[in-house]
Every structure is written in structure tokens, then in C-alpha cells.
Amino acid sequence: MYAFCLGTVFAQTSKKDSLFGKPVDMGNLTFESVNDVCDSLVWPNPNGQTITYIPLLAHSGYLTGINSYGDKAKGNYFDLSSVTSIYITKIMLGLGPVNGANGGNLVKPVNIVIYDGTGGTPGAVLGTYFSTLGEMAKNANKLSVFTFTPAVALPTSKKIFLMLEYPTLAWNMSSNAATKDTLVLLSTALNQVSNPIAWEQRADNSFHFMEDFWGDINLNNHIYPLVSSVSSNCNPLNPLPVDFGSFTATLKEKVIDLNWQTLIEANNDRFVVEKSIDGLKFSSVGTMPSKAINGNHLGVLNYKFTDFAPSQGFNFYRIRQIDKDGKSEFSKTIKLNFTGQVNIDIILQYYPNPAKQTLMIQLGSGIKEVESIRFSDASGKTIRTVKPAVAPGGLINLSINELRSGLNFATIMLPDGKQTTIKVLKD
């Protein structure tokens, strides 16, 4: 069902003075149906509504996305007062072309925000799905589902605004598409709906009913809530193997702890923790088996992984789930800024690195004893723990024959509890 809110008319020059280009029909994009627990409300589109995006002429951008007017967000208003559901657990989002200028800018924020709509305009923020231009680019030219964790409770009025926000993206008037950010929210065709619900946020941060400023355009944006009467069981009829819950990164001394939850696991085999320093190129840093019996579990399961060698600056993490059939999906991507350094008061230097059989560690001035040295692999699994002998002058000679080839870590702890971790590469 569609509902709409009449916005206030502002005395400004209509954007319709700039003519629209020919709409680009996206064809028959499809999405699996949803069950009684997970009500899509406005999907599938009624009456064969078009899935399209609308360019503006003179290289001015897109009606429902990045454009030269400096718009910061596009979305819809919903009045859900007629339904019994009280939670938004997921949203369905349709995107057209998405990319960063010259392939860059993919770490810029692009967020999905739910606002209280009780007052008729966007009020308090009820929930935010934090994302990036890079994640949105992976969902370009299709309909995708994004999960809010935890689920967002509807306000008493059940009136909300659902907005795709991109405040730092930029568009210029150049005809060269490679010089500008691009993000387009799909919509219906112009004048295809009788009760339009589309809203936008302009360059001055004010929110407006899109018809107020663009003229008689009558369209809806393809961003819809999936609502439920429960907070953790809104899933399509054919769910993915894992429904991720919370996923957080916490800095603890010189390491980063990753914690994530699953709400449902079906035929799940394992998780691969992937890391990136730029948010684009990811590589595996560890694997964890599923805790679910035979890979199946309904309810919360908690997982933890420790990155013993964070990179200086931003560290991006995501979890890749792999089921027993080899199919996989990704969690959301999170990031944490790490500014720690190896404690030079404990270790002055260590060598050789890479090493084949022996690692030499030169301790800091005055250190005559080490409580323990714990070796671990890239997944955080302990390989062995030793109490080393410290030669005069603070030198430690260690055998590393038990370490696997590649990246390993050594955590040096002193009797007073101080510690530091170093990377050890073994040939």
C-alpha cells in the first residue's frame, strides 16, 4: 500500500526549468517474494510500474541521485499505521549506475537512514545503515536487501522517512563522466503514480517533497521497508545461509577484536575474516568454523576474532560466510582507525624478517626478563607459548621451526603485564 504526505510549497525557481533526459528503463528486475512475517508493503510494484532512472540534460546529473544542484539525499515517506508490524529489519533498495570519480572515492559515506515522520517532515533519526560508495557500487543496477542491526522500532505514529544519503559525493558540469561521483536511486517513471511519496534533501540540508520543487513529476523512489511483528525473523522465503546480526570492531591495547552475531544459520560451514586497508581490496586473515550443529541454528550465536597485527590508519573488515555447498555472502563492512605502534620500550629491534629457523629479539634498555612469548598464526590460533632465556644485553634467541610459512605473530609479555606484538614472516 502507498501513502503520502503533502509537503510545504516553497517559493523557489522550479528545477523543472532544466529538462529531463530520456528515462533509462532497467527492464524486468526481480526479487524473491517475502513471507507473512516479512511484509514488503509496496513490493512487487503495482500496475506494472517502470523501474528506471532519469538523467538531467546538460551534464547536470540525475533526478534521483547525484546532480549539479548539490542534493544530498533521496527517499520516500511512508505511513504504515494500517499494519500490525512494529519493526523494520531490512530495506529493499534499487540502484542504477554507481561509481567514484576515476574509480576513486569509494570510501565516501553513503548511508540509509530511517527518520521519524510523525511531524510530516524528517524528525529524529531512528536507525542508520552505515555504508560506503564502494559497497553501493557492488549493488549497482539491481535491487538489493540491506539489514538493520538491531532492528528499528517504528514510532507510535508508524510514519517514517526512508532516505539514501550521500552528503559528501560531488558532481560537476563536465561531460567527462570519469571526473565525477555517480550514484542513482531507481524510481518509477515520471507521472506513473497517482500518490507520489518521493522526498529529497537539498544542499542547504532542508527536506522537501520532490514535487514541490521539480514540478508535476509524480514518482516514487525504489527504497522500501521490510517490516515485521518481531525483531529477528524477517527473512525472504528463500533466505541466504546466514542472517548476520551485530558486527563490531574494538581496539584493545595493540590488537583489534572483531565480534559478530548470527541470528539464523542454515547449512553454514565457516566464516572467513577479510581485511583491507583501503576498503576496496580485501584478503583473508583468518577462518572460523560455524558453531551451529550441522551448520543449522535458529537464534543468536556469537563469534570473536582478534587481529593481532592491525595496520597503521584505517582497517576495514568484513565477514565472508561460506555454506556447505560453497555458496557465500558478505556481512557489512566496518572500519576502525589504529594508531598504535610497537612498544619500543620493550623491543628495540628484531631480525631477520623474514626468518627461516631462528628469530633474534633485542629487548629495550634495562629489560632482563620476559614472562612469556606467545606465537600465533594469522587466524589468532596459538601455536606455542615459551618463557625465553634472556642473554646479557637483553638479547633473545628463538627457534621458529614450529611456525608455518607466511605471516605469524609473536606477543612478548613482561612480568609487570606490559606487552607488545610483532609480525614474524617465516620463509
Question: What's residue 233's pLDDT?
Answer: 54
Among 163, 217, 146, 145, residue whose Cα is nearest residue 188? 217
Backbone φ, ψ for residue 102 (5° rounding):
55, 30
CATH class for the region spanning 242-338 = mainly beta
Residues 6+ apart with CB under 8 A from 374: 382, 384, 385, 410, 411, 413
Question: What's residue 236's pLDDT?
Answer: 45
Separation of alpha carbons 234 and 245, rounded Å: 12
CATH 2.60.40 fits 347-426, yes or no: yes
Instruction: Tell me which residue has cell 528545477.
Output: 15
Question: What's residue 125's pLDDT?
Answer: 96
Instruction: Tell me which residue has cell 514510532.
Output: 155
Q: Phi-psi category of 190—alpha, beta or left, where left has phi over 0 and alpha has psi -120 to 50? A: beta
Question: What's residue 3's pLDDT?
Answer: 31
Q: How confident is the prediction along the chain (427 residues), in pLDDT tens digits per residue?
A: 333 222 222 333 344 444 677 788 776 565 444 444 566 655 545 456 778 899 988 778 899 999 988 999 999 999 988 877 888 888 888 899 898 777 778 889 999 999 999 999 999 999 999 999 999 998 888 888 888 888 899 999 999 999 999 999 988 777 676 678 999 999 988 888 888 999 999 999 999 999 887 888 889 999 988 888 777 655 543 445 687 878 888 887 678 889 998 877 778 899 999 988 878 888 888 899 999 888 877 667 899 998 887 877 788 999 999 988 888 888 888 988 876 655 657 888 888 878 888 998 988 888 889 999 999 887 778 888 999 999 988 899 999 988 888 888 888 988 888 888 888 888 8
Question: What's residue 62's pLDDT?
Answer: 92
Q: Is 203 exposed, middle or buried (0-12, 13-18, 19+ CB in 10 A)?
A: exposed
Domain segments of the chain as ranges: 15-228, 242-338, 347-426
Question: What's residue 240's pLDDT?
Answer: 56
Residues 6+ apart with CB under 8 A from 265: 241, 242, 290, 292, 295, 296, 297, 301
Question: What's residue 42's pLDDT?
Answer: 54
Cβ(408)–Cβ(383) below 8 Å: yes
Are 242-338 and 347-426 equal in CATH topology?
yes
Farthest CA pair distance, the chain: 85
| pTM more than 0.85 | no
